[in-house]
Structure 1
């Protein structure tokens, strides 16, 4: 049975952008599972699966509904143990939890602010109103003010990637020769940036950019099928 993946989109339903939804999509592809995506906009989330979730991603696997990208990965690992592993054991799960926290505190913080107006501009009218109201309440200032200093903050963001940069000079993926869910966590964040904003978050010659290019090519180019923002 084909798994359903509910994923967040803007006005163009062909451009899913949520980092968490991309993590789930990469996890499903990593496991080699057949899945179908269902595009959902911000203001439509409450209406899917009888109000089963307030946030995406959400998957339906038969009669099971699972939300939250990490919970989805754990579910897939447990339910489909004969498929390629996402964690390679308990140590891999612990590593992925660390990477998840680091990604949210370091990557998501900067990307979410730097790409804020770009994300707003790719939404439909109803979602724009929701997005503006909710994000201005979160940041305590007008939406347009939040990314204004992104150029000045960019060097510090790139410097924060030094642990990844040194790692990828030694091995192709966080998982070693092959990716694990930890790779998908960071790739999901950078795919969020790639799909939503033309801003150059990474230098072209950065080993992190080279690693991300490898991630874009995984699973028959799953991520690369969605063009970068122009």
Structure 2
């Protein structure tokens, strides 16, 4: 039975944008597994699989239902031990936890200050209302005010990427010559911005940009199949 990945989309169901869903999409490709996808907006998620989870991704693999991107990666590693490893061993699993923590505390907040209003604008009407109300409550200000100074935030954001830049300038991926789940964690964040926002902030010559392009090309261009926002 082909696995099903439930993904977050906006008005255009062919443009999944969740960073966490992209992690899982590439993890499934890494494992060489056949899977289909099902699109859902924010307000549709509670109806999926009988209310199984309040968030996506959700992976349905036979009788198994798993949510949370890292939990899904761990499930895939256990369920398919004969396929290429996502972690390269227990040490890699622990280091991937660090990469996830760094990404969610450094990259995600910075990208939200850049793309939050654009994400809102790509959603359907009911999801726009949900997104605005929930995010403005969390941010303590309007979406417009939240991103108003995004141009001035680019330089500090690029500086914060130096730990990533220093590694991918010397090797193709965080995993070395070939990618591991740690790469997909960080890739998901940049793909989130690429798919949902037309605002461009990464210099073409940056080693991080070049690493991202390598990730976009993985698995017959799986990431590049969804065009950048225009």
SS in 2 for 1:46: helix
Moved over 6 A (4+): none
Structure 2 spans left out of the alignment, 5+ residues: none
Partner of 1:174: 174
Is 1:96 aligned to residue 114 of structure 2? no
Q: Distance in 1 between matches of 2:14 and 2:129?
A: 21
Structure 1 spans left out of the alignment, 5+ residues: none
Q: TM-score, normalised by structure 2?
A: 0.99
Q: Distance in 2 between matches of 1:48 and 1:169?
A: 41
SS in 1 for 2:52: coil
Partner of 1:205: 205
Shift of 1:164: 1.3
SS in 2 for 1:115: helix
SS in 1 for 2:175: coil
Q: TM-score, normalised by structure 1?
A: 0.99
RMSD: 0.6
Partner of 1:144: 144
Q: Distance in 1 between matches of 2:104 and 2:146?
A: 18
Partner of 1:86: 86
Moved more, 209-218 or 196-205: 196-205
Partner of 2:71: 71
SS in 2 for 1:225: coil
Is 1:34 aligned to residue 18 of structure 2? no
How many residues are aligned here?
230
Shift of 1:201: 2.7
Q: Distance in 2 between matches of 1:155 and 1:30?
A: 33
Partner of 1:214: 214
